[in-house]
Structure formats: C-alpha cells, structure tokens
Amino acid sequence: MNKGRPKPRQILLSKRANIFYLEHARVLQKDERIVWLTETGEDVEQYFNLPERNTALLLLGKGTSITDAAMRRLAESNVLVGFCGSGGSPLFAATEPVFLTPQSEYRPTEYMQAWVRHWMDETQRLELAKALIAERIALTGKAWARNSELLQRKIEIPAVAIDKFRQRSAGVPDTQSLLLAEAEWARALYASLSAGHGLNFTRQEGAGAKGSKEERVNSFLDHGNYIAYGLAAVALNGLGISYAFPLLHGKTRRGALVFDIADLIKDAYVMPLAFTCGANPRVKDNAFRALLIETLQDGDSLDFLFDFVKRLCEKTL
C-alpha cells in the first residue's frame, strides 16, 4: 500500500535559522512549498521559496496577504506568524505584538504547569523576576564587550550603573520597585550609547519620523524590538507557556510575558545596533533588519531564550 512520501523532519525551534519580514507580497502554497511573490507588474511572476521547516518567525507588513493553505502548512511546521506595520513595527501600537500561534494538540505542558506554580506564589514570582534581571545584566555586559562597533567608539556600560542595578534589583521588596530600577538602568544605557555616538537622544516609541539621526534611532528601536518580541513569542509558544503570566510588565496587558522575555535580548543586541545604524544615514530599514537578524543568529538568541525560560521553570538558576 502506498503510504505517500514521508514528510521531511522539522528543525528544532530553538535551532531554526530564518526570520522573514515581507511587505507588499502574497504568500501562498505552490507545489508542496510555501512561496511568496511581490507585485511587480511584469507579465511573468517570479516566486521566492520560503523554507518553512527552518523558519521560526514570519512577519507580514503592509500590503501583504496569505492564503489559508499557506497558513495551514506554516502551522504544521510550527512557524509563528505576525502581522505588523511598515518596516516591522506594529500596526496599531508600538509595543503590542499580535501573533498567530500555530495550533497543535501536542504541546508540552510541564513548563506551563511549573510556571503557573511559581507565578501563583508572590514571593516566587518576584524571585523569578530578579533572576530575569540578573541574566539580563549578564547578557548585556557580555554582548557589549564583544561588539566591535561599541569597542571602537569606546562605549561601555558604566560600572556604577551595573552595580547599582544589580544591588537595587536584588534587594527590592516588590515588582513596582524593580520596574523603577529597570527604568533607571535603561536610561543609563541610552545615555552611554547617545554620548558615544554624539547624539542628543530621547526615547520616543512609535514616533515613525526618520529625519534626524535621533529619529532614525527611535525608528530602528521600534523595528528591532518587534523582532525581539517575535523571538520571545516563539520560545514561549514552543514551550507551551501562556503570554498572560508576566513577571514584570503590566498584569492586565495581553502578551506581557513576551515583553519580559524579549528584554533579555533587547538591551544586549537591539539597542546597540539601532544606535549604530541610526547614526549612519546610509543604512536603510531593510539593511538594519538584516543586520539585526544576523546578530541575533550569531548570538544564538533563540536557543538562549529557550534554555533560560526552561531553567526559570525548573528553578535551577
């Protein structure tokens, strides 16, 4: 009896190499493949292959459509699909990710159960938040120390900021105090990057305009953060953990845990590259995204997020 051609094996989510952002394109299934094509006006349409079994995240920007057959195949391959605005920033709000998670009856449950057990205990939840902050400080320090552009400009995280953030986050009695310490940490990072690039920078989420260097940095931060949100969502969805059980961000915000986990890689990779590219008028949106995806892949960011969230669940930090 002919059982049909066996399906190729999928690559583990944490090891997948591809993140795609498309705009003004159609995504569809053709000849047992996922392909996309852009509206060029030519008589002959040119298709581009999308290797879904080695793809973690697909972002669909302005003027983009996708067929139900393509969505079904992407879901089978466990690819997270997100609709966003121009350049990769969210369409309706600068920090509200909207993702279509692949539906499957077979999803790990042990991590979600462990997460909920910790989350329901206020003391344990605060300890997890502190562990998240400690890892964020460590990863940011390592990534900045290896960043050749920052080293060339002699940009570094002030030791006093690291010590102050580490001490304050370790001794705070509640989440609100931890958020205040986090805000001070972010200001210190922005100040170091701004001074090193000769900018007068103020963070403005969702500003959109890209006239000055400062505005370009803000725009790249928005675009880069959304990619970081996508990777965090891939890790959480792959482990079967609901986005609705955050550690730091608002307890009533949809997707708040995505923001928490994304913070691990935003400071380390997104923020420095946004300043480097924003200070260079020749770097366009697509070049920034390509550089960021390459940087995140070089840092094994997705693998790191999977591993760290699993360790949080197992409390082996």
Q: Is the pLDDT of residue 61 over 90?
A: no
Fold of 13-35+47-100: Ribosomal Protein L15; Chain: K; domain 2 (3.100.10)
- pLDDT one-digit tens code per residue, 261-271: 999 999 999 99
Is 182 marked as a binding-site residue? yes
pLDDT value of position 139: 95
Task: Specify the pLDDT at position 45.
Answer: 66
pLDDT of residue 93: 33
Q: How far is CA 116 from CA 83, 165, 177, 216, in A?
A: 28, 27, 23, 40
Question: What DSSP string describes 115-168?
Answer: HHHHHHSHHHHHHHHHHHHHHHHHHHHHHHHH-HHHHHTT----HHHHHHHHHH
Lowest mean pLDDT among 83-87, 220-224, 295-299: 83-87
Q: Which two tokens stand for residue 278?
A: 């924003």
Residue 317 reports pLDDT greater than 70:
no
285 appears as a binding residue in the annotation: no
pLDDT at 253: 60
> Contact 275/217 with Cβ under 8 angstroms?
yes
Q: Per-residue pLDDT for 43 more than 60? A: no
Task: Give me the pLDDT at residue 98, please.
Answer: 53
pLDDT band at 119 (very low <50, low <70, confident <90, very high): very high
The pLDDT score that the predictor gives to residue 254 is: 63
Q: What is the model's pLDDT at position 18?
A: 84
Rounded to an integer, the average pLDDT of 39-54 is 76
Asked if 138 and 184 count as a contact pair (C-beta separation under 8 A), the reply is no
DSSP 8-state class, residue 77: T
CATH architecture of 110-314: Up-down Bundle (1.20)
| Residue for token pair 């505005």 | 215
Closest CA to 13 of 234, 312, 294: 234
Q: 255 or 71: whose pLDDT is higher? A: 71
Q: Is the pLDDT of residue 304 over 90?
A: yes
- pLDDT of 6 reads 53
71-104 pLDDT, tens digit per residue, is 888 888 888 888 877 655 543 333 344 566 666 5
Nearest to 99 by CA among 204, 248, 222, 238: 238
pLDDT higher than 90, residue 63: no
CATH 1.20.120.920, the chain: domain bounds: 110-314
Tell whether 122 is in a known binding site. no
Averaged pLDDT score across all residues of the chain: 84
Range(s) of the chain covered by CATH 3.100.10.20: 13-35+47-100
| pLDDT tens-digit series, residues 122-165 | 999 999 999 999 999 999 999 999 999 999 999 999 888 899 88
- What does pTM read for this prediction? 0.78
